[in-house]
Amino acid sequence: MDCLKADEAAALVTFSQLCTEQGLLKRPSELSENDVVDGINDETALLRFLQARQMKPQDALKQFQQAATFHAEKNVHAFYSVISVDDYEDTRRLYPHWTGRRDKQGQPIMMLNLVHLQNEAITRWTETRNMPCADASVTSSPDMAQRVSVFHDGLTRFILPLCTAMNDRPDSSIPVTKSTYLVDASTLSLKQVWGMKYFIQEVSWILFTCYPETIQHIIVCNAPSSFWMMWNIIKKFVDPRTADKLVIVKSADVYSTLETYIDHANIPKQFGGELAYQHGMLPDLDEGIRQTLFWVDPKKCLPPGPLKWVQDGKNRKVIATGSVGSIERSEEIAVLRSQE
């Protein structure tokens, strides 16, 4: 990559060679013929793992092997094609999900309102977490580790490559590999924190192990005065590198803080901006993305469920995958034409 320093580029070459020797760069057999491998084992994905391990190839290799093993054991690549849209959307509501907007650096803005992670939601998460690991078929219901992995694969396989393809950002030569997370913590209580401890622990492990260096900032908005007491509990379950990305903001400072990272039009209304965000909503795409893609549907919007990129000659197509009513989808949504 042109954006790397000489020693970083050398480390990436070494890491790539190690991965090749271990068979980690082979095309996953679960992918269709034209599916792209962005976010799986392409150069950008390798760089994220390398950065997570301070550019040490041997350390990065161990983590990449661990992530690959986890994906294989959980049938993640296979489930990406067959998971029911209902299961996928139910999972979306439990985790930070893409608003369809980008920050000033062109990175996707993810949002979560903690009021929706109360007792009922955590109980549902626990029940799904304790399900047996499922084989990947349209009639199987995946456990929560499988669901959350498919959901986050959607970030690395679809959302980040989409944002990378946009030229309306400060430096379009640098791939987009990170996201800005917004968390509304206005309703957070000590009781809720204690009830979420296993949820936080598992999500933190999966994110750090399988999706390293995908977070730029986690901006905790409307933090209550008791937040630091609660943080002493939370941080025991959070990877230290993830914890370092937190930006804690009181209500009076929310808008001024967000404005340094995000344009007014892309800040949710509850934080003083223009975006009409609702929990669990489908991405409300910004105009830059809407106008760059060539849409099958004139409404220019993304459907529910997992999405992937396929290569069609010089162009890439957005394909809706997953299943509806035990029938696999393969629906063309839009085309990203080659800019060569």
pLDDT in tens, 12-22: 999 999 999 99
Longest dimension (CA), the chain: 56
Mean pLDDT of 34-42: 96
Specify if 112 maps to a domain. yes
Specify if 204 maps to a domain. yes
Q: Which own/partner pairs from 156-159 qualify as long-range (CB within 8 Å, at least 24 positions apart)?
A: 156/38, 156/39, 156/40, 156/45, 156/211, 156/214, 157/36, 157/38, 157/39, 157/40, 157/80, 157/308, 157/309, 158/39, 158/306, 158/307, 158/308, 158/309, 158/318, 159/98, 159/108
Specify if 104 maps to a domain. yes
Cα dihedral sign, 29-34-37-43: positive
Under DSSP, the state recorded for 322 is: S
Task: Confirm if 85 and 151 have CB atoms less than 8 A apart.
Answer: no
Question: How much is the pLDDT for 340?
Answer: 55
Specify if 214 maps to a domain. yes
Question: How much is the pLDDT for 291?
Answer: 94
Mean pLDDT of 169-178: 94
Task: Confirm if 106 and 166 have CB atoms less than 8 A apart.
Answer: yes
Specify if 147 maps to a domain. yes
Domain total in the chain: 1
pLDDT band at 237 (very low <50, low <70, confident <90, very high): confident
3 pLDDT above the threshold of 80: no
Residue 134 corresponds to which tokens in the numbers above? 């499922």
Pairing label, strands 331-336, 97-102: unpaired
177 pLDDT above the threshold of 70: yes
Question: How much is the pLDDT for 230?
Answer: 87
Q: Using CA atoms in the order 145, 146, 151, 152, what is the torsion angle rounded to 10 degrees? A: 60
Specify if 1 maps to a domain. no
Mean pLDDT of 257-271: 97
CATH number (domain holding residue 69): 3.40.525.10
State how far the Cα of 177 lies from the Cα of 336, in Å rounded to an integer: 19
Average pLDDT, the chain: 93
Provide the β-strand partners of residue 320: 307, 331
Question: How much is the pLDDT for 212?
Answer: 96
Mean pLDDT of 299-327: 96
What is the residue range of 205's domain? Answer: 6-336
Specify if 216 maps to a domain. yes
Specify if 294 maps to a domain. yes
Q: Would you report the helix, strand and coil content of the chain in percent, each value rounded to 5? A: 45, 15, 40
Question: How much is the pLDDT for 286?
Answer: 97
Residues 208-232: pLDDT tens digits?
999 999 999 999 999 998 888 888 8
**Of residues 156, 144, 161, the one with CA closest to residue 83:** 144
Question: How much is the pLDDT for 153?
Answer: 98
Residues 83-138: pLDDT tens digits?
999 999 999 999 999 999 999 999 999 999 999 998 899 999 999 988 888 888 88
State how far the Cα of 99 lies from the Cα of 265, in Å rounded to an integer: 12
Q: Which helix (H) or strand (E) holds 216?
A: strand 215-221
